[in-house]
Amino acid sequence: MRVVGIDLGDKRVGVAVSDSERTVAVPVDVFVRGGNQHQDMKRLAKVIHEHEPKIVVVGTPLLLSGGSSKQTLRVNSEAKMLSKLLDAEVQLWDERYSSRQAERRLREIGHSSKSMRKIADAQAACIILQSWIDANVTRSADEDNGQRL
């Protein structure tokens, strides 16, 4: 069962997908927003549908305190729109620091600031999704062993 991860930025949207065993996430797409929120969500739903996920993980930009900001509210609203367009469960996941981690990883492998703009959002989606995978695989393994967290 594949899972798709989404980074809903103001200008670009990054998309990542897991392998069928849900062990690793890979970046797959970035698209530039067109300026119409509803049209952007319809376009994103088409991209997601191509991967036939059962779950879509949307990164939520929380404040360092864990609270909500205007950006958090926008992303949550778009996630709700997206859930109405998909036959998959949409889950929100804390994305704090994912964009910075993505930029750091890309710099480490030699990307310039200009080249990073084209792929950083997909890398951020990949970080969000991998974090979700790691947390859920651990939880599933612990539950299988009869341990409670």
pLDDT digits (tens, 9 = 90+) for 95-118: 866 566 656 665 666 656 655 566
What would the mean pLDDT of 5-28 be, rounded to a whole number?
93
Domain 3-141 top-level CATH class: alpha beta
Each domain of the chain, given as residue ranges in start order, spans 3-141
Supply the pLDDT for residue 146: 39
pTM value?
Answer: 0.82
pLDDT score at 137: 74
DSSP for the chain, please give it. Answer: --EEEEEE-SSEEEEEEE-TTSS-EEEEEEEE--S-HHHHHHHHHHHHHTT--SEEEEEE---TTS---HHHHHHHHHHHHHHHH-SSEEEEEE-TTHHHHHHHHHHHTT--HHHHHHHHHHHHHHHHHHHHHHHHHHHHHHHHTT---
Higher pLDDT residue, 106 or 39?
39
pLDDT, mean over the chain: 83
